[in-house]
A and B are shown apart, each in its own frame.
Chain A
Amino acid sequence: EVQLVESGGGLVQPGGSLRLSCVASGFTFSTYDMHWVRQVTGKGLEWVSSVLTSGEPFYADSVEGRFTISREDAKNSLYLQMDSLRAGDTAVYYCARSWSAYSPIDSWGHGALVTVSS
């Protein structure tokens, strides 16, 4: 069974930092492109960042320069380092996988809540 389990969410002050982790199981992690997608409570879905199997990262304009995505295939893990956090970054962050960059997301984690507030 495919499982994606996020951790690291929580409350942080504006300007602060947080690191999300996602541990994968039930599939060959190194062969999938991995993504972070966020959802503001009661709102829609927003793509945040992706890292391909090659390690090449991609970012939405809204987080470029502030967030850093990385993967560690030996540990079946995906990370999102979030710096200079803003109130607008408050959301549930989902870890997700796709079999390629030109494929849809076929599995999602349960999500990690990040709250940016003073």
Chain B
Amino acid sequence: EIVMTQSPATLSVSPGERATLSCRASQSVSSNLAWYQQKPGQAPRLLIYGASTRATGIPGRFSGSGSGTEFTLTISSLQSEDFALYYCQQYDKWPTWTFGQGTKVEIK
């Protein structure tokens, strides 16, 4: 099983600042990496797939980068609605999809 490790566990950021979230895979997943946002009481929402492609309707302040084993999600200027949990997921090794443990982005 591919283990996905996210860091940090919690990120404290002020509104308007940049947030950088990391995700590391225990073995290469090529670019088959997605990022999801989850707010309390809600289902996850797809933000990024293919490591760097924004999903439909996702604002341009969200960007993804990386390939192989190292990935980054950047939120260029945090808005109030961006404070949430973020998960990465590899979908390279089918059928055993795996998710990271999540990074909580909180208001500083």
Residues of A with Cβ closer than 8 Å to B? 44-47, 50, 58, 60, 94, 98, 101-111
Q: Using Cβ atoms and an 8 Å threshold, which residues of chain B touch A105?
A: 34, 36, 44, 46, 89
Cross-chain contact A44 with B91 (CB below 8 angstroms): no
Q: With A44-B102, A102-B91 known to touch, is A108 a contact of B97 (CB < 8 Å)?
A: no
Chain B contacts to A: CB under 8 angstroms: 32, 34, 36, 42-46, 49, 55, 87, 89, 91-92, 94-102
B96 touching A94 by the CB < 8 A rule? no
Q: Is the CB of B34 within 8 A of A104?
A: yes
Q: How far, in whole Å, are A39 and B99 apart by their CA atoms in the complex?
A: 11
A44-B87 in contact given A58-B95, A104-B34, A105-B34 (Cβ < 8 Å): yes
Question: Is A103 within 8 A of B99, CB to CB?
Answer: no
Residue of A nearest to B94 (CB): A101
Residue A110 contacts which of B43, B49, B89 (CB distance < 8 angstroms)?
Answer: B43
At the interface, is chain B mostly helix, strand, loop or mixed? loop
* 5 closest cross-chain pairs (CB), A and B: A104-B34, A58-B95, A108-B43, A45-B99, A47-B97
CB distance from B91 to the nearest CB of A (A): 5
Given A44-B102, A106-B46, A106-B55; A101-B89 close (CB under 8 Å): no
Q: Smallest distance from the beta carbon of B59 to chain A beta carbons, Å?
A: 17
Contact yes or no, B91 A103, CB < 8 A: yes
B40 to chain A: closest CB distance in Å? Answer: 10
Query: A104-B91, A108-B43, A108-B45 provided; 4 other pairs, C-beta below 8 A?
Result: A105-B34, A107-B46, A108-B44, A110-B43
